Each structure stands twice: as C-alpha cells, then as structure tokens.
Structure 1
Amino acid sequence: MKSKIFLYLFIFAALIALYQFVSTNNMQKSFYSDSESLKDEISDLKDSLQQSQLKMLDMQYFSLENNDDALAYYDHLNLKNPTRYIEDKLLETNEKRGDNPLIPYEGMESDFKINKIKIINHKWLLADFSDGKYWGDLIIKYELKNDLGVDFTLVDHLLYTRSN
C-alpha cells in the first residue's frame, strides 16, 4: 500500500514537472516572439523618426533662422531674433483700419489681414492672408534698415477662388 502511494506521488510529481516544463517552454517562445515583434516595431519607429527629421530639415532649408549668410546682414543691428522682429513689423500693418495695405484685394466677407508669415531670407518673405472665408498668398520683398525700420514691397500675390 505504501509503495502504491509513493508510485502515485511519483507519477503526480512527474506530471506536474512535465506541465511546468511545457508551460515554461511555451512562455519562453511567446516572450521571444513578442521581443522580436517589438524589435521590428522599434526599427520601424526609428526609420519613421529619421524620415520625419529629414522632412523637418528639408522644410527648414528656406528659413532665415537656418541661413547664416542671411543672418550676417543683421549682425550690426544687435537683434536677438530678427525673424520675430520682422514678423511683428509686418503684423503691425494689420492694425490699420480696413484691409491690410499690402494686400491688393478688397475683403469680401470682412477685411483681408495677414495671418501666417514665413521669412525665407534677408530679402523675401511669404505671407498668407484671409478675410475669414477667402484667402491667398503674398510674396513680399522687405528691407530692414539700420534704424530698425522695415520697408515692405509687394512682389506678387494670389487670391484663391472658391469653386462651388
């Protein structure tokens, strides 16, 4: 009787050990496959991040902040941020009553005002304007003078037409 109990205990212990072995083996395979899929995802994310960084660098190519030659024109003026200064001066033209004087169109829904500005270099900038419903783009030549005055000259303009 005692020997049968030991035999049953031995068989039970062997079954538990077999179960533990198979379970651990399956868990190890699962962790390995999860780790491989995470490595693939990390690799994809690194590629995506690198592509995003390249796009960002490409978008910043035509930018006063990243153009040392153009910024050299303003070294003698002791401006900390020439881009912001020029943008502020251009936005001041919005403060006049009615349409912005640089925009050669009359607002249809309200007054045309400049919204967004992109300083390309030390001579040119791009601007977006809108009256709330209609919008367009401007190419503006500017000159930042030694007395910190800024002269703006409209080079070209475009008003988008709405198609209904």
Structure 2
Amino acid sequence: MLFQYVNAKRVFEDLNGRLESNKAKLEKYKDSIAVMQDDILTLSHFNLDRNEDAISYFEADGYNVSELMPFIKDELYKLNEVKGEHPIVPYAASEGRKMLINTVKLLNHKWIIADFSDGQYWGELFLTYEITKEKELKFELVESFLYPFY
C-alpha cells in the first residue's frame, strides 16, 4: 500500500507539473496571437478590403467591390502581355528579358502600389487609377524606383 501511495503521488506530481507547464505555454501562445492580430490590423490599414470609405465610394457608383478588385488587378497584369516594353514600367529590361508587374496592392479607391522585375532588376511603382464615366479603367504612373543592382 505504501508503494502504491508513493507511486500515485509521483504520478500526480508529474501530471501537475505538466499541467502548469501547459498553462504557461497557453498564456504565451495567447500573447503571441494577440501580438499577431495587432500586426495584421496595422498591416491591413492601407488596404481597400478594409477601407469602408473607399468601398462606399465604389458602391455608390453601383460596383460590387469583391468583383471590382480582382478586375482592377487583372487589368494591370494584362499589361504584362503587351508586346515590347511595358506600358507602365518606365525602365528598360535587361537584354532578352521583359519587365513584368509581379504584385499589386490596392490601397484605396484611387491608389495602387506594385512591384516589378525582369528577373535581374526590380523596383516598385506608385499608381493612381480611375474608372471613367465610360466605365474604362485608366492607370497613371505617379512615382517609381529601380533598386540598384549589386
């Protein structure tokens, strides 16, 4: 009986130790999740998906924003298919290559940021866009830069 008591006590203490360890890990993970949620909120600040005023701007004109956003991105990506130099990227590609827009982020109802590359050189663009009364989508390059090649 003494053996069973000592053995049960050891098992009980081991389980309590594991429980305390798991509680500490749980608190650590909860804190990590809270920090990550704050980071996500901060990073999504300039994002058309979360900008109610920009969404309302499009909805007032009768657009469905969930359909419009992919359309705008697709139209920008279609410019990659134009023969010759890219119509928006103001830099020439290295020989035998072509500058292509890789990533597009809609900041609001007027602004876009995008990055481009030809596989050797890369840079970023700041664009404005508008949908005209004729329902045409127009892009305008405002600013761009090319990273130095090392």
Compute the TM-score of the two structures, normalised by the length of structure 1. Answer: 0.85
- Stretches of structure 2 that go unaligned for 5 or more consecutive residues are none
| CA deviation string 1:9-48 (max 9, x = no partner) | xxxxxxxx11111011011000001000000001111111
Aligned Cα root-mean-square deviation (Å): 1.2
Conservation of the 8 A alpha-carbon contact between 2:55 and 2:65: no
Structure 1 stretches (4+) deviating beyond 4 angstroms? Answer: none
Out of 60, 79, 82, which is 2:64 matched to? 79
Is 1:92 aligned to residue 78 of structure 2? yes
Query: Are the aligned partners of 2:103 and 2:114 in contact in 1 as well (CA < 8 Å)?
Result: yes
Q: Does 1:102 align with 2:110?
A: no
Question: Counterparts of 1:28 and 1:64 in 2: how far apart (Å)?
Answer: 55
Identify the structure with the greater helix proportion: 1
| Structure 1: unaligned runs, 5 residues or longer | 1-16
Report the counterpart of residue 54 of structure 2 in structure 1.
70
Shift of 1:80: 4.3
Q: What amino acid is aligned across from residue 126 of structure 1 in structure 2? A: I
Moved more, 145-154 or 110-119: 145-154
- Matched with 1:39 is 23
Greater mean alpha carbon deviation, residues 33-42 or residues 148-157: 148-157
Which of 86, 102, 114 pairs up with 2:101? 114
2:130 to 143, 147, 158: 143
Aligned length: 147
In structure 2, what residue type is equivalent to 1:51?
Answer: V
The one-letter code of the counterpart of 1:156 is E
Letter in structure 1 aligned against 2:91: Y
Give the distance between the partners of 2:62 and 2:136, measured in 1 at CA.
11
